[in-house]
A and B are shown apart, each in its own frame.
Chain A
Amino acid sequence: MNNDERNRKENYISRRKFWMEAGMGIGGLALLDLLGKDNLLAATNASCVGSAGVTGTPLMPKAPHFKPRAKSMISLFMSGGVSHLDTFQYKPALEKYDRMPMEGKGEIKVRQGYPGPLMKSPFAFKQHGQSGAWVSEIFPNIATMVDDLAFIHSCQGISNDHVISHYEWNTGSIQMGFPSVGAWITYGLGSENQNLPGFVVVLDQKGGPYAGPPNWQAGFLPAAYQGTVFRSKGDPILDLSAPGQYMTPEQQRARLDQMNLLNEGFDEKYPGMSELSARIASYELAYRMQSCAPEAVDISSESDETKQLYGINDPVTAPYGRQCLLARRLVERGVRFVQLMSGAYVSIEDTWDAHANIVTNHTLHAKEVDKPIKGLITDLKRRGLLDETLVLWHSEFGRMPISQRGVGRDHNPGAMTVFMAGAGVKGGQSIGTSDDVGYKAEEQRVTSHDLHATLLHLLGIDHKRLTYYFNGRNMRLTDVSGELIPQIVG
């Protein structure tokens, strides 16, 4: 036996040993052996799916509290504040009282300057589908599928500050630093695929939303549950590959093998310290992620028909279309939670923050997402994935029934529309209402805690039982409240 052969054998044995210690079964071993072969960077598709044989990582799939309605969730977050009054809530009273002061609603709390008079929507509204849901002309594609959607028109937040409201709807707290919904869900359920992060965030191609990373952070939960940003240029994940001038893939594999060999001797002295073997396992998972993440984001294998479905052929819809297509590919591969941001806080006009002009702002941003969202829901449905995937379309607040300078609208946490699709949620529903002009939620007010409790429920989690002990308390996503929305969970 020459040196090389002996080395290889030693490598094999040592790796076999630590995988055993890490609790990995035979399936995993076979896979590792496969991966251990030189230059094998392009793992097959099959090896990138599932958690075969891996145990002991914080993202292992965990049993839900009860039978879930969905396995994974896609959050379509519209950053900047979508006007419910120009999209899904038709208010005849606004036409009647157009350009008159809003009265009888108590003190009017605006974000910017003087309060203006009421303003009717500049967009035409029509009823659609069997359910007769109202949709404005800026969402012609979503309008065709309202019978698959459940609208909640009575969401209400606390603050008219963008960032605080981002915290509220993405973390359940108006304070900075709480774990995001995606972090709680991956903490609760782990992920079905250990070769990809369990919680993926895809930003608007122009940049991050209001509030930035605290929207997807893990807060006081372990770092394992924080959202991983998939980047649109270069490597999808930070540090997924090494800059070529420092290390080639072959060198990396050789280094990993040597590392495993050397770690073995050290770890033997620390029986019972599972974190040491977990750390070794994490390198092999990282190694697999290097081939699985690029595979997941590579849409070249998708048919032209599919790409068109998502609007990837049109420069206006292509960026969000790619985000949506990526979301489908990720949930298909077992990723637990995907959040797609629309809106980059590079300038307010790159978000949905239509202070200056509802027509120009919302016409553009609605067009960017309308077709891709329809494409996503259609594609999930035809692939049989919609039943096990919850899709939520939401924002941080709605907008004011009164105008800004006659053409724009200010922030309004009093009322907001969100919609859900999939997860067996009954489509064609319109839940809750806001008052006659849409200033405040009226019938069946839904808070962030209520919405979050409902999302967790659909994923098989009792929001009161998903707790984490921190600074003297069992913390919850829903703090000490949260009522399920009966029409959604019923």
Chain B
Amino acid sequence: MAAEAVRRSRARYAMVLGMVVTGIAAITLFFEPRLVAQKEVSEKDVLPVIQRCSQCHGAQLQMSKLDLSSREGMLKGGEKGTALVPGNAEASPLYLRVAGLQQPAMPMAPVPALNAQEVALLKDWINQGAKWESSPVAAHPLVPAPTSGLSAVGYKERTLTAQDRQWWAFQKPVRHPVPVVSDARWSRNPIDGFVRSMLDKKGLEPAPEADRRTLIRRAYLDLVGLLPPPAEVDAFVKDPAPDAYEKLVDRLLASPHYGERWGRHWLDVVRFADSSGFEFDISIANAWRYRDYVIKAFNQDKPYDRFVVEQLAGDEVDQPDNDSLTATTYYRVGPRVRFREKNYPSYRYDYMDDMIRTTFQGFMGLSVNCARCHDHKFDPISRLDYYKSMAAFWGYVDYDHPLAPKAQVDEYAKIVKVLEKEMTPLRQEIARIEKPYREKQRAQQVEDALKKYPADIQAAIRTPEAQRTPGQKLLVAQVLTLGADVDPDSIVVDVNASAKARARAKADQVFGAGDYGRRGGLKLSEADEAKRAALQAKIDAIEDRLPPPLPVADGVRDGDYRLSPDGLGDSNIPGTGRPTYDIKCCYIPAAGQKFEVPPLFFAANGEDIKADEKTFQVQPGFLSILNSTSPAVHPPNRPDYMSSGRRRALAEAIASKDNPLSARVMINRVWAWHFGRGIVSTPGNFGKMGTLPSHPELLDWLATEFVGQGWSIKKMHRLIMTSATYKMASGFSREADLAADPTNAYLWRFPARRMEAEIIRDTVLDASGKLNLQAGGEPFFPAIPVSVRADQPRGTWDLTKEEPSTWRRGVYAYVKRGLKYPMFEVFDEPDLNVTSEKRATSTVPTQALTLLNNEFMLMQAGHFAERVIKEAGADPEKEIRIMYQIALSRDPSPSEMRNNLAFLEKQRAWARGKGANPENEVRSALADLAHVTLNLNEFVYIK
């Protein structure tokens, strides 16, 4: 009953948010009728309510110094005075606050807020004198603090209570028997037993089955994101086979376009982008390989548990392959500054936070990231859990895994070594030639400075070093910056590094960043210049012998981050606050070398690394609440690859069939992507701040089935899509259903929903006949105006035209954090920086402007018209029919036919009036209708 109340309150909350902005559930409560009659209220009645308050104002945590776990605590009150005036609710802040009658509201008021019944109960209890006969709220039977180090830093870990452990999502899914229902149509698929029995219980009448045209269109759009070809629609409608639909689903599941559609869903979860964001928005060169990996994994129906392990620890498995190594790009597609990272150790902690957020919300529906600075406010996740989770990730460093057989990699390394050996003396020779010029340049710099800077700086430079004032010394150090001389003999050529630098400079139009570290040009005498040029030509010739670089995955492996090579903008200049570590070895451990993950300290944040070390070291471990028996490390069984095995252990704990969350979370996502809404409508949050499942037994059944079927996602699609639930009509309405369940939470009809941004674009191209189905590989840049490019000049965006090369599927478009493709942005492309649990569907005039006026749309409308003319000839009726069949997968109704004929007639007359010849007249009018069709609600909604 309580759970039901919570669910209802959440649903209302969601509605309130959708409609009104203030969205404060407490305020809407104020207007609700009283739901309970006045009766004797004891503290036993209000305890469940107060226990919720005591999450923040209880024995463990007294925010605002308020402890509501006892009557005394309430009377005593907190920073803002007494909370309780027995006998007078209107004078008791305890009541006023939760009823929304006193502001401000609590800063982290629990969601759901108390419902009207609970508020009324509390009011009655206070008005009746707030009787309290038993002991204080005993919500926290204490267990001893687990780590002795904790008390030393004044941290008291949140203790786990029986109540914490009882939260539904922490219980292992139970395989409930499938409810038996009388309706034969609803008895064939286990899903239907659960859904129908719930409908019956709620007194809701389900929609009839959708017609075949609707079903094939729905299956196509949902599973592959493309329009069903009219001939296939026709064949399917006429197919007498009883399993025609099942065969259709199987056919679509085998299509390579399935992975393009469903891989994109997953990319939302892992906050995928092709650029890193922040100032320079640098390209992640091989992000696309990860995107292709995801598409391939869906197409191959890679078991989900394996999919999880590969992304988190594809390098640590016993037998890694190119796919599993590519999967670890998961770590690198998040938002990263990628500039002066060594100067700002705190960035690493932010990246860890990104990994914790994405991994736990994405795979397990838990917001572990909320426990970064304090124990989680609502879920039983402590700050120590957070750091134990961080410790699991702490060993990783960015690493480019070569994607080639070992022999080829070794061969490549050998060639590189030879070339380096040949090049080194040449480079040294150049340095020797340059040496005198370099010295002259430094002298010149002094002269230049004497001209360029004001008199007092000139004076500082002229003053002999020993006589300079402290201020003058600082100035001179700043003005004369050419640094130490280069020792020609110390030059060692790293071919790969120089090749990489060149490739990076080419790949990224990083304007400002390119200037950092660039040396000033030296002007040589003609003779020396000729010598240098000759040497350089030799070097170039050697470089040309370098085989093309091996393909790499931008992945990770274990190493010591403190020794990572300098990145963009890194320069070890005193005064810039760059920390130094007194360690020598080793960035990447060699085969057989002992490797230890660098220490991670509790509560560390990288702001002050010395202060960070004052707490205690944290070892990896899984969330305490899950009582996992999994080991904390699982190193690879390979002598040649040294790795801690921490990430693999974490991955295996997540992908374990004993994990109560993982299977539920993924199957709920699959459900949500099919129905537009999950059984848990907050797919990224299965904690107390999430919603309760609408069909808990179904969710459990599906989760056990998912695991039982070898974590096969395709088998789950088949199961879901062949259910009567999925096959219901969407265009169905019954007053009573609508009144009882206006949001269709119990699925009395199939929920129609707007297609996502990419699919709108894909289907427009599909209708026009211009869709370029080139799959995989480097991303393409959709055409945008120069003025939009100017909004964010940093990073890569090639200016392209509307032409076939840019008419590929949306999943292959370059995803730039600093500049979203406007058409996708306006149609609710999710925030690219955090895991997305679902896409919003907002409706705004700028969307209409895009579909009405954007050149892409108008051009494709023209192509669509051309295609129709080609297929239908000059018969307007036939043209209209074919247009409907292509775009809407159906024939027009008689009245639609009439209207459209009249429209074409009118538009032809208009074009004629503008001087069009008969052929152009037809084309112009049909383009009008084609554009109309591509804008229809029916076109952009999956029904």
Interface residues of A (CB under 8 A from B): 3-4, 7, 10, 57-59, 62-63, 65, 99-101, 107-118, 161-164, 175-177, 187-190, 197, 203, 207-208, 210-214, 219-220, 222-224, 226, 228-229, 231, 233-234, 237-243, 246-247, 250-252, 254-256, 258-259, 261-263, 265-267, 269-273, 275-276, 278-280, 282-283, 285-287, 289-290, 344-348, 402-407, 462, 464-469, 471-474, 476, 480
Contact = CB atoms under 8 A, between A and B. Distances in A.
A462 B475 contact: no
Interface string B731-771: 11100001000100000000010100000000000000000
A65 B22 contact: yes
Nearest to A345: B793
Interface in B443-498: 453-454, 456-457, 460, 469-472, 474-475, 477-479, 481
B733 A271 contact: yes
Given A109-B576, A243-B858, 16 more contacts: A3-B906, A7-B906, A116-B478, A175-B833, A212-B793, A212-B794, A213-B818, A222-B840, A239-B850, A239-B854, A252-B853, A269-B732, A270-B731, A290-B849, A472-B685, A480-B107
Contacts of A465: 22, 24, 103-105
Interface stretch (B30-38, B540-548, B930-938): B930-938
B20 interface: yes
Contact of A177 (B469, B733, B834): B834
A212 B792 contact: yes
A242 B858 contact: yes
A468 B17 contact: yes
Interface string B1-28: 0000000000001100100111110000
Interface in B563-612: 573-577
B787 A231 contact: yes
B809 to A, nearest CB: 22
Contacts of A109: 576-577
Nearest to B899: A261
A65 B477 CA distance: 56
B279 interface: yes
Interface string B837-879: 1001111111111101111001101100000000000000000
Given A107-B577, A211-B818, A407 B849 contact: no
A266 B846 contact: no
Contact of A262 (B14, B862, B896): B896
Interface residues of B, number: 129
Given A176-B335, A255-B931, A282-B848, A113 B742 contact: no
A251 B928 contact: yes
Most buried by A among B475, B738, B794, B907: B475
Contacts of A229: 791
Contacts of A345: 793-794
A176 B277 contact: yes
Given A223-B828, A289-B849, A473 B791 contact: no
B511 to A, nearest CB: 8
25 contacts: A3-B905, A62-B20, A110-B576, A113-B575, A115-B474, A117-B475, A163-B278, A177-B834, A213-B818, A222-B828, A223-B828, A223-B829, A238-B846, A239-B846, A240-B849, A255-B852, A258-B899, A259-B935, A269-B731, A271-B738, A283-B852, A405-B479, A406-B456, A472-B370, A480-B107
Given A187-B21, A211-B818, A465-B22, A270 B853 contact: no
Contacts of A113: 478, 481, 573, 575-576
Nearest to A63: B22
B167 interface: no
A112 to B, nearest CB: 8
B698 interface: no
A262 B931 CA distance: 13
B832 interface: yes
Contacts of A58: 842-844
Contacts of B104: 462, 464-465
Nearest to B377: A473
A108 B474 CA distance: 13
Most buried by A among B471, B690, B858: B471
Contacts, number: 340
Nearest to A112: B576
A240 B826 CA distance: 14
Contacts of B835: 471
B404 interface: no
Contact of B457 (A242, A405, A474): A405
B852 A242 contact: yes
B575 A211 contact: no
A176 B457 contact: no
B859 A190 contact: no
B283 to A, nearest CB: 15
B834 A472 contact: no
Interface in B640-661: none
B812 to A, nearest CB: 22
List the 3 closest A-B pairs by CB distance, nearest first. A212-B792, A177-B833, A269-B731
Contacts of B730: 270
Contact of B684 (A213, A402, A407, A471): A471
Contact of B831 (A65, A219, A237, A247): A219
B831 A7 contact: no
B817 interface: yes
A273 B832 CA distance: 29
Nearest to A201: B791
A246 B862 contact: yes
Given A115-B575, A275-B754, A345-B793, A224 B844 contact: yes
A224 B19 CA distance: 13
B73 interface: no
B827 interface: yes
A462 B684 CA distance: 28
A177 B24 contact: no
Contacts of A162: 279
Given A113-B575, A285-B845, A472-B682, A263 B834 contact: no
B848 A285 contact: yes
B938 A266 contact: yes
Most buried by B among A63, A176, A276: A176
B889 interface: no
A405 to B, nearest CB: 5
B23 A468 contact: yes
Nearest to B24: A465
Contacts of B849: 237-240, 286, 289-290
Given A101-B470, A252-B852, A258 B910 contact: no
A239 B309 CA distance: 45
Nearest to B823: A239
A250 B793 CA distance: 37
A300 B935 CA distance: 35
Nearest to A3: B902
A485 to B, nearest CB: 16
B479 A177 contact: no
A100 B481 CA distance: 20
Contacts of A255: 852, 928, 931-932, 935
B89 interface: no
Contacts of A247: 853, 858, 931
Contacts of B337: 161, 164
B932 A262 contact: yes
Contacts of B350: 175
A329 B537 CA distance: 62
A266 B937 contact: yes
Nearest to A290: B849
A299 to B, nearest CB: 19
A118 B733 CA distance: 75
Contact of B937 (A214, A279, A462): A279
A86 B826 CA distance: 41
A243 B785 CA distance: 12
Given A250-B910, A348-B512, A242 B853 contact: yes
Nearest to A210: B279
A107 B817 CA distance: 34
Interface string B527-540: 00000000000000
